[in-house]
């Protein structure tokens, strides 16, 4: 009986050891814990990563965290980033590659005060447009170039003013229009007391100047390792399952995000509202990058007429379908 007991104990230990043998994977988010990244938190909460034999660590971002530096420094296997900043990093020597694109559409908008008389893009002349910089300004410059509007502050053109990542300049009427996201800053304007009737919004997607947001990136070195490629494919498959679940169950997804917000800074109302908007951006995506969307992003960045974040088209070396092809088949 004693031998049998020891054998059973050894078997249990072996089973436990096997259960702990899941492949580790770390993802670095672009920003803080919020519904913008719900798909990853849902995949973890619902056991989708477990089903793929993955032990995933999700690292929140923040104002002092550069995802590409974390990725290149070995602190993450994959990161979430916008394509313009990823391409800028790549041109500056960072060997990073887009492996999946959960966000199909852009959430960028230009939100204008209706009282300024702006109703259409043709009304921009003589007005001040506030936008974030660090590459975020380039779609706006490209748009002005398409409209034939100088950005020199003349009456015939517009003034482009750098603003921080908040809507104070718009609320204080320091600018007539400000860059906002459909799922975040726009609602800060509403929460400040303005109504949709007080505003005129222009979605970058509708204006043909949108650039790809929230893609998944890894290093060229990782893509040369067959074992890592397999892990990445499983990660993308589980993550997209998480995103589709979040689309179909937005309120539950928002609750899962809140459970993972260690700062306690997020509110239920804001996260549920955000998740509803995020679901519109991931809708229609199976994670596969559309080359046409990639090419549009590059064209916007190169045609802005402003100081560029990239100076040449990086071509297909900047993205791959290898991971999504393996994940979906």
Q: What confidence tier does 1 reach under pLDDT thresholds 50, 70, 90?
A: very low
Question: Does the pLDDT value for residue 124 go beyond 80?
Answer: yes
Q: What confidence tier does 11 reach under pLDDT thresholds 50, 70, 90?
A: low
User: What pLDDT is attached to residue 158?
Assistant: 97
290's tokens = 């559309």
More confident position, 11 or 255: 255
Q: What confidence tier does 5 reach under pLDDT thresholds 50, 70, 90?
A: very low
CB 115 within 8 A of CB 198: yes
Rounded to an integer, what distance in angstroms lies between the CA atom of residue 184 and that of residue 274?
Answer: 7
Taking the CA atoms of residue 283, residue 289, residue 290 and residue 294 in that order, the dihedral angle to the nearest 10 degrees is 120
SS3 of residue 30 by DSSP: coil
Report the mean per-residue pLDDT for the chain: 93
Rounded to an integer, what distance in angstroms lies between the CA atom of residue 286 and that of residue 102?
Answer: 7
Question: Does the pLDDT value for residue 6 go beyond 70?
Answer: no
User: What pLDDT is attached to residue 223?
Assistant: 98
Of 162, 149, 161, nearest in space to 123 by CA: 149
Question: Does the pLDDT value for residue 16 go beyond 80?
Answer: no
SS3 of residue 171 by DSSP: helix
Using CA atoms, how far residue 296 sits from 17, 218, 244, 274, in Å, is: 49, 22, 25, 26
SS3 of residue 20 by DSSP: coil
Question: Does the pLDDT value for residue 12 go beyond 60?
Answer: no
**E strands, the chain, where?**
23-28, 54-59, 78-81, 96-100, 108-113, 128-131, 159-162, 177-181, 199-203, 215-219
Q: What confidence tier does 307 reach under pLDDT thresholds 50, 70, 90?
A: confident
Residues 201-227, mean pLDDT to the nearest whole number? 97
Question: Does the pLDDT value for residue 305 go beyond 90?
Answer: no
Question: Does the pLDDT value for residue 14 go beyond 70?
Answer: no
Q: Which 8-state DSSP code applies to residue 210? A: -
Give the Cβ contact number of residue 321 at 10 Å: 15
User: What pLDDT is attached to residue 308?
Assistant: 85
Rounded to an integer, what distance in angstroms lies between the CA atom of residue 203 and that of residue 225?
Answer: 40
Rounded to an integer, what distance in angstroms lies between the CA atom of residue 16 and that of residue 31?
Answer: 35
CB 42 within 8 A of CB 227: no
Q: At what angle do helices 250-260 and 38-45 cross, to 10 degrees?
A: 80
User: What pLDDT is attached to residue 20?
Assistant: 59
DSSP assignments along 62-91, one per residue? -TT--HHHHHHTTS-SEEEE-HHHHHHHHH
Question: Does the pLDDT value for residue 10 go beyond 80?
Answer: no
Distance, CA of 253 to chain centre: 17
Residue the block writes with tokens 């064209």: 299
Question: Does the pLDDT value for residue 39 go beyond 70?
Answer: yes
Residues 7-35, mean pLDDT to the nearest whole number? 74
Residues 197-225, mean pLDDT to the nearest whole number? 97
> How buried is 2 (Cβ within 10 angstroms: 0-12 exposed, 13-18 middle, 19+ buried)?
exposed
Residues 66-94, mean pLDDT to the nearest whole number? 96
Question: Does the pLDDT value for residue 260 go beyond 60?
Answer: yes
Residues 300-308, mean pLDDT to the nearest whole number? 89
- The domains of the chain, with CATH numbers, are 21-105+214-328 (3.40.190.10), 108-207 (3.40.190.10)
Question: Does the pLDDT value for residue 297 go beyond 80?
Answer: yes
Reported pTM = 0.90
């Amino acid at each position: 009986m004693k031998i049998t007991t020891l054998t059973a104990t050894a078997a249990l230990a072996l089973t436990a050891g096997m259960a702990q043998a899941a492949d580790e994977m770390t993802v670095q988010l672009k920003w803080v814990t919020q519904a913008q990244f719900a798909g990853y938190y849902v995949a973890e909460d619902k056991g989708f990563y477990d089903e793929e034999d993955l032990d995933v660590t999700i690292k929140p971002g923040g104002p002092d965290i550069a995802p590409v530096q974390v990725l290149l420094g070995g602190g993450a296997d994959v990161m979430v980033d916008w394509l313009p900043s990823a391409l800028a990093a790549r041109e500056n020597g960072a060997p990073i590659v887009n492996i999946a694109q959960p966000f199909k559409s852009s959430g960028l908008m230009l939100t204008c005060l209706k009282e300024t008389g702006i109703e259409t893009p043709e009304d921009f002349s003589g007005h001040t447009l506030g936008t974030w910089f660090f590459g975020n300004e380039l779609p706006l410059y490209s748009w002005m170039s398409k409209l034939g509007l100088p950005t020199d502050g003349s009456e015939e053109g517009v003034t482009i003013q750098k603003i921080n990542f908040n809507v104070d300049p718009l609320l204080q009427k320091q600018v007539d229009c400000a860059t906002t996201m459909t799922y975040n800053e726009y609602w800060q304007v509403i929460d400040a007391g303005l109504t949709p009737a007080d505003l005129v919004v222009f979605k970058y997607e509708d204006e043909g100047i949108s650039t790809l947001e929230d893609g998944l990136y890894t290093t060229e070195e990782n893509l040369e390792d067959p074992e890592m490629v397999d892990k990445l494919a499983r990660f993308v498959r589980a993550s997209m399952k998480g995103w589709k679940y979040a689309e179909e169950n937005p309120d539950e997804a928002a609750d899962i995000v809140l459970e993972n917000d260690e700062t306690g800074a997020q509110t239920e109302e804001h996260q549920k509202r955000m998740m509803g908007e995020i679901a519109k951006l991931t809708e229609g995506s199976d994670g596969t990058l559309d080359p046409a969307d990639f090419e549009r992003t590059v064209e916007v960045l190169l045609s802005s007429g402003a100081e560029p974040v990239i100076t040449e088209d990086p071509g297909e070396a900047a993205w791959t379908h290898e991971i999504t092809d393996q994940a979906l088949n």
